Structure 1
């Protein structure tokens, strides 16, 4: 398999409430379908080379050059025959609502950036991505533009606290989220839709999937993983793995194409190589 070079730069203080950071990925394509699991976060994608093909209900279609990948609640399948060279702006899970009032309308969609930001801001960000020599350089060029276009909704602070509680395992269900927020489950659901573009139930399931996959990779028995993660049984966990990763739990012990994006320890390194 070809080598992938991945570099990540955390966002500076002025953007850190909305943007996790900026990454750059380059690799040779081999036309092999690659499955990418959702993790609750949305990303603005800026291609510096020909975009890959994405599998959808109508077959394979070419991604736009500059777009927002909206909130994912299913596996994403990509195929790249030529070199891939791409910059990504990784938003926090609670921050996609800063781009528009109805982020749920972008769910499971590659939405051309011009449709969201307008032609000029979209063109500027793509030019910055193609000009910058590193994620840090991109943030230097694009920081002011990103600060202008990302306008947090009023519910962002509340939803951020709830998302962080889910990520940390402090709460694991909708009732716990409602109790933490001091409001009804229905209100929590509306707030998640407004800030994240996903339902609270989607976010709970996605974070549970990642906890389970981490435990499987650590070598724990599948029955134990299913019980500890809160699945009804191992069959329930298998269905969720098929939805989010396109695989069953057994091969989940192996490295996956999306691993390069998500582990926190990679973000402490300037550059990461993955075979």
Structure 2
């Protein structure tokens, strides 16, 4: 019941789903989402430190725009850290502007219309902070936090401070989340866990298992089965 595709916004993903009423486990990814629910209207999903488990109403329709790490703050107008581990109505951030957006989108917005809202906000903000994509790409490639800081010309404290605003957490946490996602993607593609762990930068399979338990809330076997 879940579908996704690339959005026109660089690095963004458009997705749709219809809830069955059962729990859905969403892994952390350093992203912020602009959401529409047939039950709750327009919402913002902040960056999660651990998996977010939601249980929607059966038949509830969802449309979402997942913004790449570092882009959300420019769209929503607040640092990512203020939205960490939160799901809030859009009007809590945009006030009357959110009401105008909701009226314009109507009762059943299209993916293109939702993306146009984010694109307009991003353009008005002058685009995303380019540091976000640089840092996220380096960490996702397995570059150490120390080497990443040096590559972008920042000291460790400055990188941590900027990361809190861009991603909702520090670079070490983001690197850990991205590493887990790399390993899980490999495992879902059929790569044995031990090999997936080694290829993703883990010391061993046990190290991967601990991270999955802590970040996803379940062991790898249950996560992959789901």
* TM-score class normalised by the smaller sequence: 0.7 to 0.9
CA contact (8 A) 1:5 1:27 kept: yes
In 2, Cα distance between equivalents of 1:9 and 1:134: 15
Specify the alignment match of 1:121 in structure 2: 97
> How far does residue 246 in structure 1 lie from its aligned partner after superposition?
2.6
1:44 aligned onto 2:20: no
In 2, Cα distance between equivalents of 1:96 and 1:174: 22
> How far does residue 96 in structure 1 lie from its aligned partner after superposition?
2.2
In 1, Cα distance between equivalents of 2:182 and 2:102: 34
Specify the alignment match of 2:198 in structure 1: 227
1:110 aligned onto 2:102: no
CA contact (8 A) 1:20 1:90 kept: yes
- Cα distance 1:116–1:28, how it changes in 2: closer, same or farther (>3 A)? closer
1:146 aligned onto 2:121: yes
The DSSP-based 3-state class of the residue aligned with 1:66 is: strand
Deviations 1:201-228 (A, max 9, x none): 1210111011111222233332333233
**Structure having greater relative contact order (Cα 8 Å, sep ≥ 6):** 1
Deviations 1:228-273 (A, max 9, x none): 322344333222212332321223444x4xxxxxxxxxxxxxxxxx
- Cα distance 1:127–1:245, how it changes in 2: closer, same or farther (>3 A)? farther
- Cα distance 1:245–1:127, how it changes in 2: closer, same or farther (>3 A)? farther
CA contact (8 A) 1:46 1:129 kept: no
1:241 to 208, 212, 220: 212
The DSSP-based 3-state class of the residue aligned with 2:29 is: coil
- Cα distance 1:10–1:185, how it changes in 2: closer, same or farther (>3 A)? same
Specify the alignment match of 1:6 in structure 2: 3
1:200 aligned onto 2:181: no
More helix by share: 2
Give runs of aligned pairs for residues 1-275 of structure 1, distance below 5 A: 4=1, 6=3, 8=5, 10-11=7-8, 16=9, 20-23=12-15, 25-29=16-20, 31-47=21-37, 49-51=38-40, 65-98=41-74, 99-118=76-95, 120-131=96-107, 134-139=110-115, 142=117, 145-147=120-122, 150=125, 152=127, 156-167=129-140, 169=141, 171-254=142-225, 256=226
How many correspondences in the alignment? 225
- Cα distance 1:235–1:210, how it changes in 2: closer, same or farther (>3 A)? same
CA contact (8 A) 2:4 2:13 kept: no
Length-normalised TM-score, structure 1 = 0.71
In 2, Cα distance between equivalents of 1:143 and 1:246: 31
Cα RMSD of the aligned pairs, angstroms, is 2.7
The DSSP-based 3-state class of the residue aligned with 1:239 is: helix
> How far does residue 21 in structure 1 lie from its aligned partner after superposition?
4.5
Length-normalised TM-score, structure 2 = 0.84
In 1, Cα distance between equivalents of 2:98 and 2:64: 13
Q: Which consecutive residues of structure 2, in runs of 5 or more, have no partner in the other structure? A: none
CA contact (8 A) 2:43 2:90 kept: yes
In 1, Cα distance between equivalents of 2:43 and 2:124: 14
In 2, Cα distance between equivalents of 1:6 and 1:221: 26
